[in-house]
Amino acid sequence: MRIGVIECGVCGTDHDIAAGKYGKPPAGSDFLILGHENLGTVREVGPGVDGFAPGDLVVATVRRGCGLCRFCAANRSDCCETGLYTERGIIGAHGYIAEEYVERPEYLLHVPPALRPIAVLMEPLSVVEKAIETGQKVLDRREPTPGFPPQRPPTALVTGTGAIGMLASLVLSVRGYEVTAIDRHGDATLAARVLRRIGATHVDSSSGIDAIGTAHYDLIVEASGAITLDFQLVSRLAPNGVLVLTGIPDASAPPISVAGGALLRGMVLANQAIVGSVNANRTHFELGLNDLLRFEERWPGVTAELISQRRPLNEAPQVLGEHVGGAVKIVLTVSTLTPFSDLSPRR
């Protein structure tokens, strides 16, 4: 299928690639076309493809399987066992910041027209869905004890209020968690405002993790990649709790010192777990699509607020080279044929 690109979101991974710290061009190419958070429209459907028509809105998944392992064979390349996968716009395959791209239908998801203004968030949301599903599966090993209904709602801590942290806060809230999100900013930011609107608690932890008081959490979703903080978070897990790591730390960061004995002892004695989560497969994009609809029902317009700026493609070098304080998600408008003003929600 041939897809015209409407817009692409920019994330920390894109910044790292632009800075030469991550990523790899396709074999035989000396450059990499960036862009993995995407929204496009079908331009042409090849013979033998059912279920898609020109004009349909679509989002493409990112990872392509190694062709060797059982997970990739089942279109679950997010769990690839060989590490020989590619990722469009990141590792070994060109991305979506292009006028158009060609893709197989199994890697494309239909987007309802009503979600046009926010569907570019589906890729980061898929990463969040996988992380929360993973954490929930670990928590579910506790199993409810018959005759003992829960006495309190489950609690979650989210670290970082970029797009991953904010989307995690939204997902956890619709799942019934009491959510606290921390960052290193005061209460005047867009993120803090959105957190208030969804009934979550925002804490400025620039003075350190003790800013959250003495609280412990069933689920901690880490979305900052801050290594020292990641270790400190273990002491904030409730008994049987789970810490899910999604931020990708810098492998060349200097070593840090950790009180390993106390940390591991505490984890064993309280049945706690740390688990990493990366990428997402098609089922997580589908979960994300459902959740975008739920967010709109529950907090109309809130998800769109997470898109802090839409910038024209010719500003890509500045966008990739700068850090806009207080921005949650910056989106590059790729197609001049489908300007955003034509993308108002059709309900």
Applying CB under 6 A, which residues contact ligand BGC? Answer: 11, 13, 36, 62-63, 87, 90, 123, 127, 278-279
Min dist CB 12 to ligand BGC, Å, is 7
The answer to whether the Cα torsion of 56, 62, 63, 64 is positive or negative is positive
Cβ nearer to ligand BGC, comparing 16 with 204: 16
Min dist CB 63 to ligand BGC, Å, is 6
| Long-range contact set of residues 74-77: C-beta below 8 Å, sequence gap at least 24 | 75/106, 75/281, 75/282, 76/281, 77/279, 77/281
Min dist CB 91 to ligand BGC, Å, is 6
Q: What are the φ/ψ torsions at residue 287 (nearest 5 degrees)?
A: -60, -40
Q: What are the φ/ψ torsions at residue 307 (nearest 5 degrees)?
A: -85, 100
Cβ nearer to ligand BGC, comparing 205 with 281: 281
Min dist CB 258 to ligand BGC, Å, is 25
Cβ nearer to ligand BGC, comparing 23 with 241: 23
Cβ nearer to ligand BGC, comparing 135 with 247: 247
Cβ nearer to ligand BGC, comparing 59 with 237: 59
Token digits for 230?
């990641």
Min dist CB 318 to ligand BGC, Å, is 20
Min dist CB 23 to ligand BGC, Å, is 8
Query: Cα torsion for 316, 320, 323, 328, to the nearest 10°?
Result: 70
The answer to whether the Cα torsion of 14, 17, 18, 19 is positive or negative is positive
Secondary structure string (H, E, C) spanning 122-167? HHHHHHHHHHHHHHHHHHHHHCCCCCCCCCCCCEEEEECCCHHHHH
Min dist CB 124 to ligand BGC, Å, is 6
Token digits for 176?
């019934």
Min dist CB 16 to ligand BGC, Å, is 9
How many degrees, rounded to 5, is the angle at CA 39 between CA 101 and CA 343? 125
Maximum CA extent, the chain:
63
Helix (H) or strand (E) segment spanning residue 228: helix 227-234
Cβ nearer to ligand BGC, comparing 49 with 278: 278
Cβ nearer to ligand BGC, comparing 36 with 116: 36
Cβ nearer to ligand BGC, comparing 19 with 264: 19
Alpha-carbon radius of gyration of the chain: 20
CA-based end-to-end distance of the chain = 27
